[in-house]
Structure 1
């Protein structure tokens, strides 16, 4: 599992010209899954993401978490995080989870975050989405389960 976290002042997603979801202060996350991902991995990644202290406190230090600032999440499914660009000019996506696995894990990811009391807006899995954001900082962080979930 890979998550690209962008700290935002605002973010939105439109599909076919219609607003699907929008948030104010929080994270815009791009989320991708591979075939070996499980709910246990998703749980660990959410715990890491939610606990990150990447919002500034009164002294301007990144000391506050998403919960501390009562932030929200715009969650966007993104299989292209598993692009393999080692050979040729056209990326391969064989490491990305098949849609049936990825959809199930994406739905679980979003529901688990909501269960933690964090407001979540989403795109639509597999749709042609237009994502807009005002990156705050900018702060962009990549979480990879290969690093976070090592035994």
Structure 2
């Protein structure tokens, strides 16, 4: 499992011009699922994301987690995170999980985040989406299980 995490001041996702998910201060996650991902991978990343100390305290140091500051998550399924560009000019997506497996794992991941008391908004799995965000910092991390 691979997640690109961005600390955001606000974010939204639209499908066909209609907003389907929107958050205030928190994290925007681009979530890639591969064939081997299990519930163990989901639990590991959910725990890591909720408790990462990447929000600033009163002194400007990264000492607070998403949980500490009651932040929200905008979670976007992103199979292209498993695009392999080593050969040719067109990415190969063979490492991305098939849609039925990816949808199940993506939903399990979002539920794992919610079970930790986090508000989670999402896009629409498999749809062409427009994602808008104001990156805070910017702070962007890549996490893998």
- In 2, Cα distance between equivalents of 1:132 and 1:75: 12
What's the offset of the Cα at 1:115? 1.3
- Per-residue CA deviation, residues 131-151 of structure 1 (Å, 9 max, x unaligned), is 000000000000011xxxxxx
User: How far off its partner does 1:74 sit?
Assistant: 0.2
After superposition, the C-alpha distances for 1:65-118 in whole angstroms (9 at most, x for unaligned) are 001110000000000000000001100000000111100000001111111110
User: What CA RMSD, in Å, does the superposition of the two structures yield over aligned residues?
Assistant: 0.5
Equivalent residue runs for 1:1-40 within 5 Å: 1-40=1-40
**Greater shift in the superposed pair: 27-36 or 107-116:** 107-116
Alignment match, 1:58: 58
1:92 aligns with 2:92: yes
- 1:128 corresponding residue in structure 2: 128
Partner of 1:77: 77
Whole-Å Cα distance in 1 between the matches of residues 120 and 47 of structure 2? 15
> 1-side partners of 2:8 and 2:19: how far apart?
18
CA distance in 2, matches of 1:14, 1:89: 29
Paired residue for 1:67? 67
Q: TM-score, normalised by structure 2?
A: 0.99
1:30 and 1:96 map into 2 onto residues whose CA distance is 14
- Looking at structure 2, the residues matched to 92 and 134 of structure 1 have their Cα atoms a distance apart, in angstroms, of 30
Q: Which runs of 4+ in 1 moved over 6 A?
A: none
